[in-house]
Structure formats: C-alpha cells, structure tokens
Amino acid sequence: MNTSANPEIGMSITAAGIETNYHEAGEGFPVVLIHGSGPGVSAWANWRLTIPKLAQRARVLAPDMVGFGYTERPQGITYNMDTWVNHILGFLDALGIEKTDLVGNSFGGALAIALATRYPNRVRRLVLMGSAGVPFTLTPELDAVWGYEPSVEAMKRLMDIFAYDRRLVTDELAELRYRASIRPGVQEAYAAMFPAPRQRWVDALASPEAAIHAIPHETLIIHGREDRVIPLSNAYTLHQWIHRSQLHVFGRCGHWTQIEQADRFARLVGDFLAEASEQEPFPLSS
C-alpha cells in the first residue's frame, strides 16, 4: 500500500536487480499495464484512471519501467529494448507470475509486442494502445516529445500535442508534469534514451515483421483517430500483421485514449480480457 503523500509512489520490488516502483490493485488473473515514454511519465500518470476500473475485474499491476518514474536508475545502464524486456520479465518473475495479460501504451505497446514475440508463453492476451513497435516515419510531434527540454511552457505544448480535448490540458497539470520531469536524474535519463537523430529510436522499438506476423495471441488494438504522436496507420499495420486481432478507433481522440476515453477504454479492455480462459491455448498454425 502507498503510504506516501505522492500517489505516483506505490510499492517496491526488486526486478532484474532493479528496485522497481509499481502499483497493484484488485484480484484475479493478472494484467500488467506498461506506460508510454513521455517526459516525466510514470505508471500512475498514465494509468491512474484505468487502474481502479480494471481492478474490479482483474489483478492490475502497473510498474515504472527502468528509466522512468520512481524506479531505480542504475548507473551506466543502457536503455534499449533488451533492457526493458529483461526488466519486465524480472518484474513478472519477482511476483511469481507465469502468464499475464499485457496492456501497452505507445512505447509500452512496443515493449508488449517485444515480450509477446520473444516469450509468447508468458502472455495470455495483448492490448496495444497508440502503439509503436512497427516501422513508421518519425512524426514531428514524437520528435518534440523525445526532444523535450524542461520548462512549464514546453510541457504545456507537449500536452497540447497529446490531447485532442484541450480542456484536459490545464496549467495545474502542466505544472505537475513539469515538476515530475525535473526530479533529480529524470531528465538526464530521458535525454540519454532518445537523442537526435530520432528516427533510429522508432526503428529500434520495432519488432521484426515476421515475428509480429507470428504472434499467436488474441490482440486488441486501440488508437485515437486524431493521434498526432503515433500515426493511426500503425494501428492498421498491426491489425493486418496480427492474425488474431481486432481494431477499435476512437474518433475525436488523440494519443491519450486511456484518459480522453477513460470509461469506454476501461470497459472495452475489461470485456476483451474477461473473454479469455486462464489457459487460453495458442493455435499451432494460422
């Protein structure tokens, strides 16, 4: 239980040798929520509206991935997909979870894809929201997100990019996210992850096409039609490549589907995951 006045700080566990901050709620089959890669991001910032809703139907776990939030940042660590896959595997192992559902947001979608392709037996069902993980041309908006230099004004501009509904972008929220982005070590780690030129990091987050075609899991793909950070075409690519997939596109919605469409998002995801049997079999062929 979180006894801190800061709601972003939850529980702590050692995962792959890294002290990992995470949130947990609910009971039942586990579902791990993997956040995106915005400046000052944390699991709580991404999933604060989703956790209590999904927790009515499942055991919900939301870690801060290494390099983000309140998880330890080991000296000299290399931030890449191998590191993040090893970290999420270590998180599952530390909690004794052999198989989980995965919900990945943006960068987190790329990580969910990587885990599902490399360790398919550890995953039951996939939900990919505004997901990276396939090749695409770097958008100016994603370039701005990864190139963030801390200031309240810069954070406000980024939040304008993320949200279709500008009413969500308040001065108070921009100030909170800015403060999160300037905590000791946060900007240093963030700047080390995605230095210019940044198309190479889009490419580095992508899993091989053949591996994505081979994903055996039932997969729900969700995207905001007005997403300016990750193009809607990514969702169509994933839908074409993943044989057992379904696609839901929210109109009048940007990159913050889980916030802009919080109730609908949680209901959609909850229903999709509730369909599955605990030992959902993998087909031997497509």
Contact 221, 247 (CB under 8 A): yes
DSSP β-bridge partners for residue 60: 25, 31
CA–CA gap between residue 254 and residue 136 (Å, rounded): 18
pLDDT at 4 (0 to 100): 66
Residue among 106, 131, 181, 207 flagged as catalytic:
106
Q: In this structure, which amino acid lies at residue 153?
A: E
pLDDT at 282 (0 to 100): 64
Q: What is the DSSP letter of 80?
A: S
CA–CA gap between residue 72 and residue 100 (Å, rounded): 24
CA–CA gap between residue 18 and residue 156 (Å, rounded): 32
The set of residues, in sequence order, having a beta carbon less than 8 Å from that of 244 and lying 6+ positions away, is 215, 216, 217, 218, 219, 283
Per-residue pLDDT tens, the chain, 286 aa: give them. Answer: 455 689 999 999 999 999 999 999 999 999 999 999 999 999 999 999 999 999 999 999 999 999 999 999 999 999 999 999 999 999 999 999 999 999 999 999 999 999 999 999 999 999 999 999 999 999 999 999 999 999 999 999 999 999 999 899 899 999 999 999 999 999 999 999 999 999 999 999 999 999 999 999 999 999 999 999 999 999 999 999 999 999 999 999 999 999 999 999 999 999 999 999 766 766 544 4
State phi, psi for 245 to the nearest 5 degrees. -125, 155
Q: Tokens 């940007």 correspond to what residue? A: 254
171 catalytic, yes or no? no
Residue among 23, 87, 223, 255 flagged as catalytic:
255
Residue among 207, 223, 227, 245 flagged as catalytic:
227
pLDDT at 280 (0 to 100): 75
pLDDT at 285 (0 to 100): 45
**Please, where are the H alpha helices in 122-206?**
140-146, 152-162, 171-181, 186-193, 199-205
CA–CA gap between residue 234 and residue 190 (Å, rounded): 24
227 catalytic, yes or no? yes
Give tens-digit pLDDT for 219-258.
Answer: 999 999 999 999 999 999 999 999 999 999 999 999 999 9
12 catalytic, yes or no? no
* Concatenated DSSP letters of 257-275: HHHHTHHHHHHHHHHHHHT
Q: Between the CA of residue 7 and those of 11, 168, 210, 223, 259, what are the distances in Å? A: 11, 19, 41, 27, 17
Give tens-digit pLDDT for 14-39.
Answer: 999 999 999 999 999 999 999 999 99
